[in-house]
Amino acid sequence: MRSASALFILSFALSLSAQSPTYGLGRTPKPDEIKAWDFAISPDGKELPPGSGSAAEGAKIYTANCAGCHGKTGKEGPNDVLVGGQGTLNTSKPVKTVGSYWPYATTVWDYINRSMPYPKPGSLSADQVYAVTAYLLSLNGIIKEDAVLDAKTLPQVKMPNRNGFIGDPRPDWKSPSSSATSR
Amino acid sequence: MPQSPNRRKFLKSAVLAAGASAGRAQSTDGQPAPDDPTQAPGSLARAYGERSRFEKTVRTPSSTGTSSGAPLQDLNGIITPSALHFERHHSGVPDIDPRRHRLMIHGMLDRPLLLTMDELKRFPSVSRIHVMECSGNGFRNKGAKTAQEAHGLVSCSEWTGVPLSVLLREAGVQSGASWIVAEGSDAAKMTRSVPLTKAMNDVLLAYGQNGEAIRPEQGYPLRLFVPGWEGNISIKWLRRIKVVDQPYMTREETSKYTDLMPDGKARQFTFEMDPKSLITYPSGGQKLASPGFYEISGLAWSGRGVIKKVEVSVDGGRTWKDAQLQSPVLPIAFTRFRYGWKWDGSEAVLQSRCTDEHGDMQPVLADLVKARGDHWGYHFNPIQSWKVSADGSVQNALS
């Protein structure tokens, strides 16, 4: 009985200390301040904003903003190849693209929204980012040409390489194969 | 006894003759130094120091300007001067006013926080000497001529900042949280997920580098510093940490910084940097003047802790001898090693291999290829070979 009440007091003290800040520096961010920066998109897509876009709309935006670096159809470069390569990852000439390698469609949306177009990141509207994402996924044959992507449909897109990633087995080598001994 | 004018004149001409026979160093401005610096007062005190105009070693920016390597072959000791610390950025170096910079910590927390730099610096801080290595350092170095070209995306500094655990405790992490997402305020808004266990362990919110503010190229005014892990996860120009319950699978942890294996599967979240060493003197591009004594010197480090042993071979790996480790030997930091060598003038292949506190020994490239195939590139830590030719020239002989 005594130990039970001591335990109660102890746990109460711990929870109290966990609830009060030690240093009291800084302030609580306002909801609109959080909202302005809180656009990293998780695989379940809960941070995705309202809006929508189709592949057809995305084609025009892609041609105007993306084709210069990624090629007319996403295969030509000179920068990262975005289209094709499915079925090549276990061959002698793997081609890593959005279609063949990226495990989550939400990442495509997040990266375009965050970092692209390279000279003017953040310049595309949410609708435009949905549209370009739809265009790239349709060029890769992952969604239909007339599909419309939005906050609900995008996280449901199943990427071909969704299960293509494994953990870290390192150190994965043996000691140097030379038979030399150290003194 | 005062010197006679004649004797002074004789000494001066003797010094001049010695200078002429030794040749003169070229200065950056082309102006020669005075023949005798003792004959007139030197320059006065200056507000911010610069190195001698006769010192010219520099970083070498890549053709795309997205990275530059540290001149490892020209450095002494274990600290990389801030101005020569390697660079890697994904959308340029932003220009940030520290008075307007904010760090937001939010997500699964009892008390989300918004901090100015001044407020952040009032928290308890620590300084630690740690190595920072780009995940891709050494990648495709076969054509590289120098230590800098081959392995220059690694540097070591003293970093000062607030342990992230202090801030997370202050903000009160809620149950169910398991990762953080860190985001920079560069144009890439570089973003990576870090397991909460690591965040609570030894991660710093760093604002100091080698005693002064972090350089812009290194994340001014604030960066995440994740000891021992691949460089890109130490998000620079840090503005936001969100505490979450899963990794966010950002582009930099799916499309990039993953390693494709022969079976088509790719390794992901390969955080730690493996034990690695290289000889920096003599190294590629240098030339030994004549046979005789040389002190072989180099750097070793491991993202998993302390370097326990470095061995040197001067016969291409047939025999190995222990090198001396220079104190201090710190965890997750450059360890300087030295090995006295008498070069007999014949061809030699110089190598080093290190072993860390876990007993992991630096591998040969063939063993890595055997384990990983041909389509990986990150976490490249094989034994580096430098070939010394009979004429004293030194070349990259990574095989």
- Does the beta-carbon distance from A28 to B113 stay under 8 Å? yes
Question: Does A94 touch chain B if contact means CB atoms closer than 8 Å?
Answer: yes
Residue A102 lies in a domain: yes
- Does the beta-carbon distance from A168 to B112 stay under 8 Å? no
Rounded (to 5) percent helix, strand, coil in chain B:
15, 35, 50
- Does the beta-carbon distance from A102 to B271 stay under 8 Å? no
A94, B264 contact by CB (below 8 A): yes
> How many domains does the structure of chain A reveal?
1
- Does the beta-carbon distance from A176 to B363 stay under 8 Å? yes
* Whether the predicted model's global pTM rises above the 0.90 cut: yes
Q: Please name the fold of domain B276-396.
A: Immunoglobulin-like (2.60.40)
Domain layout of chain B by residue ranges: 60-257, 276-396
Structure tokens that stand for B386 in this block? 């430098």
Chain A residues touching residue B375 (CB < 8 angstroms): 94
pLDDT on residue A47: 97
Q: Both ends of chain A: CA-CA distance in Å?
A: 67
Question: Does A165 touch chain B if contact means CB atoms closer than 8 Å?
Answer: yes
B244, B108 contact by CB (below 8 A): yes
Question: Does A106 touch chain B if contact means CB atoms closer than 8 Å?
Answer: yes
**Judging by beta carbons within 10 Å of its beta carbon (0-12, 13-18, 19+), is residue B376 exposed, middle or buried?**
buried
pLDDT on residue A174: 78
Chain A residues touching residue B66 (CB < 8 angstroms): none
Coil, helix or strand at residue B111? coil
Q: Which residues of chain B have pLDDT under 70?
A: 1-22, 140, 399
- Mean pLDDT value across chain A: 89
B326, B272 contact by CB (below 8 A): no
- Does the beta-carbon distance from A28 to B112 stay under 8 Å? yes
**Ramachandran sector of residue B334 (left: φ over 0; alpha: ψ -120 to 50; beta: rest):** beta
Q: Is the pLDDT of residue A170 over 60?
A: yes
Distance CA B316, CA B384 (A): 10
Q: Please name the fold of domain B60-257.
A: Sulfite Oxidase; Chain A, domain 2 (3.90.420)
Which of A175 and B74 is assigned the larger pLDDT? B74
Determine which helix (DSSP H) or strand (DSSP E) holds A4, and give its type and residue range: helix A2-19
Q: What confidence tens digit (pLDDT) does each residue in A93-118 have?
A: 999 999 999 999 999 999 999 999 99
Q: Which domain holds residue A115?
A: 50-163
Distance CA B241, CA B105 (A): 5
Chain A residue with Cα closest to B361? A175
ipTM of the complex: 0.91
Residue A40 lies in a domain: no
Residue A110 lies in a domain: yes
pLDDT on residue B354: 98
Count H helices, E strands: chain B?
6, 24
Distance CA A53, CA A134 (A): 7
Task: For residue A145, give the CATH number of its domain.
Answer: 1.10.760.10
Local confidence band at A179 (pLDDT 50, 70, 90 cut-offs): very low
Q: What confidence tens digit (pLDDT) does each residue in B186-196 have?
A: 999 999 999 99
Tell me the shortest Cα–Cα distance from A58 to chain B, in angstroms. Answer: 20
Question: Does A40 touch chain B if contact means CB atoms closer than 8 Å?
Answer: yes
With a CB cutoff of 8 Å and minimum separation 6, the contacts of B48 are none
pLDDT on residue B140: 65
Q: Provide long-range contacts, Cβ within 8 A and 24+ apart, for B312-316.
A: B312/B279, B312/B337, B312/B339, B312/B341, B312/B350, B312/B351, B312/B352, B313/A180, B313/B349, B313/B350, B313/B351, B313/B352, B313/B353, B314/B341, B314/B348, B314/B349, B314/B350, B315/B348, B315/B349, B316/B349, B316/B351, B316/B385
pLDDT on residue B120: 98
pLDDT on residue B22: 60
pLDDT on residue B8: 46
User: What is the mean predicted confidence (pLDDT) over A11-21?
Assistant: 55
Q: What confidence tens digit (pLDDT) does each residue in B252-285 have?
A: 999 999 999 999 999 999 999 999 999 999 999 9
Residue A105 lies in a domain: yes
